[in-house]
Protein backbone atom coordinates (compact mmCIF):
# COMPACT_ATOMS: atom_id res chain seq x y z
CA UNK A 1 0.00 0.00 0.00
CA UNK A 2 1.27 3.42 -0.87
CA UNK A 3 -0.71 5.18 1.82
CA UNK A 4 -2.48 7.50 -0.57
CA UNK A 5 -6.20 7.45 -0.04
CA UNK A 6 -8.39 8.12 -3.03
CA UNK A 7 -10.11 11.49 -2.58
CA UNK A 8 -13.84 11.49 -1.98
CA UNK A 9 -15.81 12.08 -5.14
CA UNK A 10 -18.25 15.01 -4.97
CA UNK A 11 -21.89 14.05 -5.44
CA UNK A 12 -23.84 14.69 -8.60
CA UNK A 13 -25.32 18.19 -8.15
CA UNK A 14 -28.90 18.43 -6.98
CA UNK A 15 -29.86 20.73 -9.86
CA UNK A 16 -29.20 17.77 -12.18
CA UNK A 17 -30.86 15.06 -10.07
CA UNK A 18 -34.05 16.71 -8.82
CA UNK A 19 -35.63 17.44 -12.22
CA UNK A 20 -35.17 13.79 -13.19
CA UNK A 21 -36.72 12.66 -9.93
CA UNK A 22 -39.68 15.00 -10.31
CA UNK A 23 -40.30 14.04 -13.92
CA UNK A 24 -40.03 10.32 -13.10
CA UNK A 25 -42.63 10.77 -10.34
CA UNK A 26 -44.96 12.74 -12.64
CA UNK A 27 -44.54 10.17 -15.42
CA UNK A 28 -45.31 7.27 -13.10
CA UNK A 29 -48.36 9.09 -11.77
CA UNK A 30 -49.69 9.72 -15.26
CA UNK A 31 -48.99 6.11 -16.26
CA UNK A 32 -51.10 5.08 -13.24
CA UNK A 33 -53.97 7.37 -14.29
CA UNK A 34 -54.16 6.02 -17.85
CA UNK A 35 -55.76 2.63 -17.06
CA UNK A 36 -58.26 4.38 -14.77
CA UNK A 37 -59.34 6.64 -17.64
CA UNK A 38 -59.54 3.68 -20.00
CA UNK A 39 -61.59 1.74 -17.45
CA UNK A 40 -64.02 4.62 -17.05
CA UNK A 41 -64.43 4.69 -20.83
CA UNK A 42 -65.15 0.96 -20.91
CA UNK A 43 -67.81 1.35 -18.22
CA UNK A 44 -69.71 3.81 -20.38
CA UNK A 45 -68.24 7.29 -19.84
CA UNK A 46 -67.38 8.01 -23.48
CA UNK A 47 -65.71 11.35 -22.67
CA UNK A 48 -62.94 9.55 -20.84
CA UNK A 49 -61.52 8.26 -24.14
CA UNK A 50 -60.73 11.83 -25.18
CA UNK A 51 -59.14 12.49 -21.79
CA UNK A 52 -57.16 9.24 -22.14
CA UNK A 53 -55.79 10.52 -25.48
CA UNK A 54 -54.93 13.94 -24.05
CA UNK A 55 -53.13 12.30 -21.13
CA UNK A 56 -51.20 10.15 -23.63
CA UNK A 57 -49.98 13.32 -25.37
CA UNK A 58 -48.84 14.77 -22.04
CA UNK A 59 -47.14 11.46 -21.26
CA UNK A 60 -45.12 11.63 -24.48
CA UNK A 61 -44.04 15.16 -23.57
CA UNK A 62 -43.15 14.20 -19.97
CA UNK A 63 -41.05 11.24 -21.06
CA UNK A 64 -39.20 13.41 -23.57
CA UNK A 65 -38.34 15.94 -20.86
CA UNK A 66 -37.40 13.05 -18.58
CA UNK A 67 -34.90 11.92 -21.22
CA UNK A 68 -33.44 15.43 -21.36
CA UNK A 69 -33.15 15.46 -17.56
CA UNK A 70 -31.35 12.09 -17.64
CA UNK A 71 -28.87 13.52 -20.13
CA UNK A 72 -28.24 16.44 -17.74
CA UNK A 73 -27.53 14.00 -14.90
CA UNK A 74 -24.92 12.32 -17.08
CA UNK A 75 -23.41 15.46 -18.64
CA UNK A 76 -22.79 18.06 -17.21
CA UNK A 77 -23.74 16.45 -13.86
CA UNK A 78 -21.11 13.70 -14.25
CA UNK A 79 -23.57 11.11 -12.94
CA UNK A 80 -24.35 7.61 -14.17
CA UNK A 81 -25.52 7.04 -17.74
CA UNK A 82 -28.03 4.24 -17.05
CA UNK A 83 -31.04 6.61 -16.68
CA UNK A 84 -30.56 7.64 -20.32
CA UNK A 85 -31.07 4.06 -21.52
CA UNK A 86 -34.15 3.62 -19.34
CA UNK A 87 -35.59 6.93 -20.56
CA UNK A 88 -34.93 6.07 -24.21
CA UNK A 89 -36.73 2.75 -23.68
CA UNK A 90 -39.63 4.57 -22.00
CA UNK A 91 -39.82 7.10 -24.82
CA UNK A 92 -39.94 4.37 -27.47
CA UNK A 93 -42.58 2.47 -25.49
CA UNK A 94 -44.73 5.57 -24.96
CA UNK A 95 -44.61 6.47 -28.64
CA UNK A 96 -45.47 2.89 -29.63
CA UNK A 97 -48.19 2.75 -26.99
CA UNK A 98 -49.71 5.99 -28.22
CA UNK A 99 -49.69 4.86 -31.84
CA UNK A 100 -51.23 1.50 -30.98
CA UNK A 101 -53.91 3.22 -28.91
CA UNK A 102 -54.93 5.54 -31.74
CA UNK A 103 -54.92 2.51 -34.09
CA UNK A 104 -57.25 0.73 -31.61
CA UNK A 105 -54.86 -2.25 -31.42
CA UNK A 106 -56.05 -3.03 -27.89
CA UNK A 107 -54.62 -6.58 -27.90
CA UNK A 108 -51.09 -5.11 -27.95
CA UNK A 109 -51.90 -1.74 -26.36
CA UNK A 110 -52.92 -3.20 -22.99
CA UNK A 111 -49.93 -5.53 -22.35
CA UNK A 112 -47.57 -2.80 -23.52
CA UNK A 113 -49.19 -0.51 -20.97
CA UNK A 114 -48.35 -3.01 -18.23
CA UNK A 115 -44.74 -3.11 -19.45
CA UNK A 116 -44.62 0.69 -19.48
CA UNK A 117 -45.98 0.77 -15.94
CA UNK A 118 -43.26 -1.64 -14.77
CA UNK A 119 -40.53 0.36 -16.48
CA UNK A 120 -41.75 3.66 -15.06
CA UNK A 121 -41.91 2.26 -11.51
CA UNK A 122 -38.44 0.72 -11.86
CA UNK A 123 -37.06 4.03 -13.15
CA UNK A 124 -38.77 5.92 -10.34
CA UNK A 125 -37.21 3.62 -7.74
CA UNK A 126 -33.82 3.84 -9.45
CA UNK A 127 -33.66 7.63 -9.58
CA UNK A 128 -34.63 7.94 -5.92
CA UNK A 129 -31.85 5.59 -4.77
CA UNK A 130 -28.86 7.36 -3.20
CA UNK A 131 -26.56 5.80 -5.80
CA UNK A 132 -27.80 8.25 -8.42
CA UNK A 133 -25.97 11.03 -6.60
CA UNK A 134 -22.67 9.11 -6.63
CA UNK A 135 -20.35 9.79 -9.50
CA UNK A 136 -18.98 6.73 -11.30
CA UNK A 137 -15.24 6.25 -10.71
CA UNK A 138 -14.41 6.46 -14.41
CA UNK A 139 -16.27 9.78 -14.75
CA UNK A 140 -14.21 11.23 -11.93
CA UNK A 141 -10.96 10.13 -13.58
CA UNK A 142 -12.07 11.73 -16.86
CA UNK A 143 -12.84 15.01 -15.05
CA UNK A 144 -9.25 15.32 -13.73
Burial category of 6 from C-beta neighbours within 10 Å (exposed 0-12, middle 13-18, buried 19 and up): exposed
Higher pLDDT, 12 or 137: 12
Is 140 part of a structural domain of the chain? no
**Mean pLDDT in residue range 82-108:** 96
Is 79 part of a structural domain of the chain? yes
28-83 residue pLDDT tens: 999 999 999 999 999 999 999 999 999 999 999 999 999 999 999 999 999 999 99
Q: pLDDT grade, residue 135 (50/70/90)?
A: confident
Is 6 part of a structural domain of the chain? no
Is 24 part of a structural domain of the chain? yes
Is 40 part of a structural domain of the chain? yes
| Whole-Å CA distances, 11 to 35, 69, 77, 79, 130 | 38, 17, 9, 8, 10
**Mean pLDDT in residue range 16-39:** 97
Give the residue from 140, 100, 139, 91 showing the smallest Cα distance to 119.
91
Task: Quote the number of domains for the chain.
Answer: 1
- Residues 130 and 52: their CA atoms lie apart, in Å, by 34
pTM of the full structure? 0.87
Domain residue limits at 114: 14-132
| Whole-Å CA distances, 88 to 66, 68, 82 | 9, 10, 10
Is 45 part of a structural domain of the chain? yes
Q: What is the CA radius of gyration of the chain?
A: 19
Is 94 part of a structural domain of the chain? yes
Is 126 part of a structural domain of the chain? yes
Amino acid sequence: MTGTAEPARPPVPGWAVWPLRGLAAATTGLVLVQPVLAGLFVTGDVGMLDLHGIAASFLVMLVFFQLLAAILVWRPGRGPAWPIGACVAAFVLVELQSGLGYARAVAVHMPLGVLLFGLSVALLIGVWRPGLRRRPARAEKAAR
